[in-house]
Amino acid sequence: IRVTNNLEAFWMPFTANRQFKSNPRMFVAAKDMHYTTADGRQVLDGTAGLWCCNAGHGRPKITEAIQKQAAELDYAPAFQMGHPAAFELASRLVQLTPQGIDHVFFANSGSEAVDSALKIALAYHRARGEGQRFRLIGRERGYHGVGFGGISVGGIVSNRKMFGTLLTGVDHIRHTHDLTRNAFSRGLPEHGAEYAEDLERVIALHDPSTIAAVIIEPIAGSTGVLLPPKGYLERIRAICDKHGILLIFDEVITGFGRLGAPFAADYFGVTPDMMTVAKGITSGVIPMGAVFAKKEIYDAFMTGPEHLIELFHGYTYSANPVACAAALGTLDTYAEEGLLTRAADLASYWEDAVHSLKGLPHVIDIRNLGLIGAIELEPIAGQPTKRAFSAFLKAYEKGLLIRTTGDIIALSPPLIISKAQIDELVTTLGDVLKTLD
Ligand code: PMP
């Protein structure tokens, strides 16, 4: 396989990669649970790419659907024309969404889905004749992509400090991660539902009738798999209802089977007003994102004092035919292999497997739910992220791909993983942890 010598032109997104530019780690192929490196090694995928390849890699239903669609109808201008795959996909998706959430708006990434949902929320109240509610509420340690909307409502200060002007009128509630009370608990944390009351504190900072929406990840994935305490999401829902504030679940990571149900909303039995998805919608193969919304939100634009025509929003590639075909192939694969509920069958095996790492050096917490997990490491004093990043490099050398964020190792394998591969994953990771400085 030819690897170009010009390593300068490609601007790799993250610092951790840029450091290795003189000798980049490169994947050249992928099949099912494994990547192949440029030097021909097999690497077990412990992260489903970047939390996205839920069906595994190189799945025939997906690649064939893409090839067929590209040859048949490659593009249809989304602002003027529909095409069959878009209607079919939207119809299939709303069969999976929680009851009452039955409209789909297509975008091309999680960041775009988040921006779209925030804009829809702002416009919704106005379309209902409620005036302009303009405030938004996010959560500390929330990650909602890298658009201006996403970094504004996101709760990672370092992701936004370089960028000057952000959305105005955004507040953040506290995150719920509390190792003093919940360390090493299995599944959902027992303690901390009362953190939801922080939403009342933030709402009280302003006139509640100026607040349009609250956006949270049911599980904060990118900042280290922070699980909601039992009862927390229910309380968030109740507080939003009390004040007429829309609730948006960002399900870019939790959507499409990660927890053993189609969406976290199903798993937790809490229905938001809108959901944002991406990643697993095409199993990571082709960029696509979407907003799922309740009918009343859609209807507000069609019947409100300011008609839909006032809501100019959409992307050149919204509902791109090839992306829709990829998503349909993905849904077929999920359905035929029962992947949207497979994590439920594997959850207890997975829980035991990841918790078997308890007691290894530097491990200060282990978390799990469905087929997601996290190993939190004690940071090296004055050198945050160093220990986990070293684990990442060592795991890669031993043939395992993990993701690290801060000093937390995040695990989210493709939903096709076998029990033997779960064993292999934790054995390799255990070997890595034993050798960390
Ligand atoms: N929201 C969440 C919860 C995410 O995890 C991500 C990506 N990790 C995004 C939004 C942004 O998605 P994208 O990178 O596709 O823009």
pLDDT tens for each residue of 272-320: 999 999 999 999 999 999 999 999 998 887 776 665 555 678 999 999 9
| pLDDT above 90 for 16 | no
pLDDT by residue (tens digit) across 412-434?
A: 999 999 999 999 999 999 999 99
Q: Which residues contact 323 (CB under 8 A, 6 or more apart)?
A: 106, 108, 282, 286, 287, 288, 317
* C-beta separation of 59 from 333 below 8 A: yes
- Domain 15-58+338-434: CATH superfamily is Aspartate Aminotransferase, domain 1 (3.90.1150.10)
State the complex-level ipTM: 0.99
Domain boundaries, the chain: 15-58+338-434, 63-337
Of 248, 258, 286, nearest to 115 by C-alpha is 248
In the sheet where 170-173 sits, what is the strand order? Answer: 101-107, 289-294, 274-277, 246-250, 211-216, 135-139, 170-173
Which residue of 106, 111, 148 sits with most ligand 1 atoms within 8 Å of its CB, as the best mutation to test the pocket? 111
For the ranges 46-50, 204-208, 312-316, 376-380, which has the lowest average pLDDT? Answer: 312-316
CB atoms within 10 A of CB 2: 6
CATH no. for 63-337: 3.40.640.10
Statement: residue 185 has pLDDT above 80: yes
What secondary structure letter does DSSP report for 381?
T
Residue 288 CA to residue 113 CA, distance in Å, equals: 9
Residue 25: partners with Cβ closer than 8 Å, 6 or more residues away? 37, 396
Atom of ligand 1 nearest to the CA of 251: 3
Q: Which atom of ligand 1 is nearest to the CA of 110?
A: 12
Classify burial at 430, counting beta carbons within 10 Å of its beta carbon; exposed 0-12, middle 13-18, buried 19 or more. Answer: middle
Fold match between domain 15-58+338-434 and domain 63-337: no
How many other C-beta atoms can be found within 10 angstroms of the C-beta atom of residue 199? 24
Q: CA-to-CA distance for 44 and 398, rounded, in angstroms?
A: 9
Q: How far apart are CA 402 and CA 422, in angstroms?
A: 13
pLDDT tens digits for range 20-77: 666 678 899 999 999 999 899 999 999 999 999 999 999 999 999 999 999 999 999 9
Cβ proximity of 406 and 374 under 8 Å:
no
Residue 379 has pLDDT above 70, yes or no: yes
Q: In percent, how much of the chain has pLDDT > 70? A: 94
Query: At 178, is the pLDDT very low, low, confident or very high (cuts 50, 70, 90)?
Result: very high
Residue ranges of alpha helices (H) inside 375-418 are 386-397
Most ligand 1 atoms within 8 A of CB, residue of 223, 253, 285 to mutate: 253
pLDDT of residue 304: 67
Residues 356, 345: contact at Cβ < 8 Å? no
